[in-house]
């Protein structure tokens, strides 16, 4: 399974979707960030959009891969996909996260339009509705984007593929730890808090306890969102879709 996480807009949760929703649920998954270059053995591969030839070569060497395309590289990457005719078919699907603000919904619509323009079939695009507020229906929150989808036919939205706002993502940003790892942590932080006399250590342990609880609460939601994307329905056939005229 080879997936590209993409949106013209920044701040829609691409890295959250790539790192915490997709990659942990794809066995043996590799990870690429389209931002800078770093090809050290054993490290996540990162490239710039203009190095698309390198990305294509890497795509042929792995079976399972998630590519996180930074917002500043999306336009350049898609332009190169048009140049390398049919290269979009190297991906099983393009996953497009979006968030409620109208500007991001409009940017998401523009992303869907450009994917259609380079020849990505509607059934190989998946929307992830991110940062949904509690008790607010996806259909109402994303009314603008869903209206575009209905009119354009560029994607069939799966409104069950959503993630609610959760502070745990901000808590673990930059730590390098996955939510699945944190949720599986069996440490008894309450007991550790009771055993220490250090106020500073109590605070640190309390923060770890809060993160552990948040992770355990959010992992089932991530599981449900991943299932709703129905990625298992995709069969990867490189070159199975002819590119549309630019």
Percent of the chain with pLDDT over 70: 89
Read off the pLDDT of each residue in 161-190 and give the average, rounded to a whole number: 91
Hey, what are 114's tokens?
Answer: 């450009």
- Of the two residues 51 and 106, the one the predictor is more confident about is 106
2-171+222-233 folds as Rossmann fold (3.40.50)
In the chain, what are the domain boundaries? Answer: 2-171+222-233
192 pLDDT more than 50: yes
- Of the two residues 239 and 140, the one the predictor is more confident about is 140
212-237: burial string, b at 16+ Cβ within 10 Å, e else: bebbeebbeebeebbebbebeebeee
36 pLDDT more than 50: no
* Nearest-10 crossing angle of helices 71-83, 52-59: 80
pLDDT of residue 57: 86
pLDDT in tens, 104-143: 999 999 999 999 999 999 999 999 999 999 888 999 999 9
Read off the pLDDT of each residue in 6-20 and give the average, rounded to a whole number: 93
Question: Would you place residue 46 in the very low, low, confident or very high pLDDT band (cuts 50, 70, 90)?
Answer: low
240 pLDDT more than 80: no
Hey, what are 65's tokens?
Answer: 């891969």
pLDDT of residue 48: 58
pLDDT of residue 175: 81
Least confident of 6-20, 51-65, 123-137, 181-195: 51-65
Q: 59 Cβ partners below 8 Å, 6+ apart?
A: 2, 65, 90, 91
Question: Would you place residue 245 in the very low, low, confident or very high pLDDT band (cuts 50, 70, 90)?
Answer: very low
Hey, what are 206's tokens?
Answer: 């309390």
From residue 215, how far is each of 8, 182, 203, 218, 227 by CA, in Å?
A: 29, 6, 18, 5, 18
Distance between CA atoms of residues 182 and 153, nearest Å = 39
């Amino acid at each position: 399974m080879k997936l590209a996480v993409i949106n013209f807009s920044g701040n829609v949760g691409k890295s959250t979707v790539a790192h915490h929703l997709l990659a942990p649920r794809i066995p043996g998954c590799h990870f690429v960030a389209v931002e800078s270059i770093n090809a050290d053995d054993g490290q996540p591969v990162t490239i710039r959009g203009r190095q698309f030839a390198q990305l294509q070569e890497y795509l042929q060497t792995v079976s399972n891969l998630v590519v996180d395309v930074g917002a500043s590289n999306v336009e350049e990457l898609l332009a190169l996909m048009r140049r390398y005719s049919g290269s979009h078919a190297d991906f099983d699907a393009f996953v497009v996260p979006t968030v409620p603000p109208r500007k991001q919904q409009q940017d998401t619509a523009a992303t869907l339009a450009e994917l259609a323009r380079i020849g990505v079939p509607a059934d190989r695009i998946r929307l992830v509705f991110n940062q949904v507020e509690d008790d607010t229906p996806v259909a109402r929150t994303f009314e603008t984007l869903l209206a575009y989808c209905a009119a354009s036919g560029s994607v069939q939205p799966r409104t069950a593929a959503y993630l609610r706002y959760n502070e745990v993502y901000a808590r673990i940003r930059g730590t390098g730890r996955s939510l699945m790892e944190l949720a599986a942590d069996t440490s008894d932080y309450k007991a550790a808090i009771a055993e220490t006399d250090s106020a500073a250590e109590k605070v640190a342990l309390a923060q770890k306890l809060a993160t552990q609880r948040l992770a355990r609460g959010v992992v089932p939601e991530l599981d449900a969102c991943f299932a709703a994307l129905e990625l298992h329905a995709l069969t990867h056939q490189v070159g199975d879709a002819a590119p549309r005229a630019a």
